[in-house]
Amino acid sequence: MKVLVPVKRVVDYNVKVRVKSDGTGVDIANVKMSMNPFDEIAVEEAVRLKEKGVVTEVIAVSCGDAKSQETLRTAMAIGADRGILVETTEELQPLAVAKLLKALVDKEQPSLIILGKQAIDDDANQTGQMLAALADLPQATFASKVEVAGDKATVTREVDGGLETVALTLPAVITTDLRLNEPRYVTLPNIMKAKKKQLDTVKPEELGVDVKPRLKTLKVAEPPKRGAGIKVPDVATLVDKLKNEAKVI
């Protein structure tokens, strides 16, 4: 069984992002970049399935510029067998990424596609669902537990009211939630081994996909700073301020 795991290069989750002075986007110059945390969980889950003997090959895929090779090497250090970089300098939006992944799914014919439910930079939560629709595959989103047996997958997913368990017939798309697993620490020997693993590079044109942006970002702005809190002497004053100053009741 072959598993495809898309991974995205994003600003590290420990970094406090800053908006550019002209409001056109987020400043990523000289900022630490790393693998999207939800995608790291997806790689870990695919590798665990391989360690159980359910999966035979794990393929990591990234779409972006040449620097995304670092992210793929990290995925291979976790345990992916090989990597594919769809290299482009275009700003990639969820639909474009889903189309690129659909082309790779057609080429590689994986039994399972596991990816993070969303990226922490745009928080779109769209790519997995779009890929499932384009490839006409069953999907299970927000997975907190995955079990694979034969050509069936049982996924426990997190919903507003608790947990929901769904059964899928493979091939299928699964998007990972935070509580699915805790990714392993990447050791130096595995980082060195990852440098020798196969990493192929393709262009969007070779896959027959147009990745030009369909949406335009008009402005990016930081959230307003919170004002200092105040103490009130009694409930009546609190209600008055909530009603007349905050206007929330």
- DSSP letters spanning 130-199: HHHHHHT--EEEEEEEEEEETTEEEEEEEETTEEEEEEEESSEEEEE-TTS--PPPPPHHHHHHHTTS-E
The pLDDT tens digits of the residues spanning 167-226 come to 999 999 999 999 999 999 999 999 999 999 999 999 999 999 999 988 888 888 888 888
CA-CA-CA-CA torsion for 145, 146, 152, 154, nearest 10 degrees?
Answer: 0
Q: Closest Cα partner for 32 from 18, 8, 13?
A: 13
State the pLDDT at residue 26.
Answer: 85
The C-alpha R_g of the chain, in whole angstroms, comes to 21
Spell out the alpha helix ranges (H) of the chain.
37-51, 68-78, 94-108, 127-135, 188-194, 235-244
The answer to whether residue 49 scores a pLDDT higher than 90 is yes
Pair type for strands 82-87 and 9-11:
unpaired
How sure is the predictor about 7, in pLDDT bands with cuts at 50, 70 and 90?
A: very high
Whole-number Å distance between alpha carbons of 60 and 111 = 14
Which range has highest mean pLDDT (42-56, 212-226, 234-248)? 42-56
State the pLDDT at residue 223.
Answer: 83
The pLDDT tens digits of the residues spanning 21-41 come to 888 888 888 889 999 999 999
State the pLDDT at residue 227.
Answer: 79
Is residue 13 classed exposed, middle or buried when 0-12, 13-18 and 19+ CB atoms within 10 A define those classes?
Answer: exposed
The pLDDT tens digits of the residues spanning 122-171 come to 899 999 999 999 999 999 999 999 999 989 999 999 888 889 999 999 99
- Contact partners, residue 41, CB within 8 Å, separation at least 6: 116, 176, 177, 178, 180, 181, 183
Q: At what angle do helices 68-78 and 37-51 cross, to 10 degrees?
A: 30
State the pLDDT at residue 52.
Answer: 93
59 has which bridge partners?
4, 82
All structural domains of the chain, each given as residue ranges with its CATH number in brackets, are 2-244 (3.40.50.620)
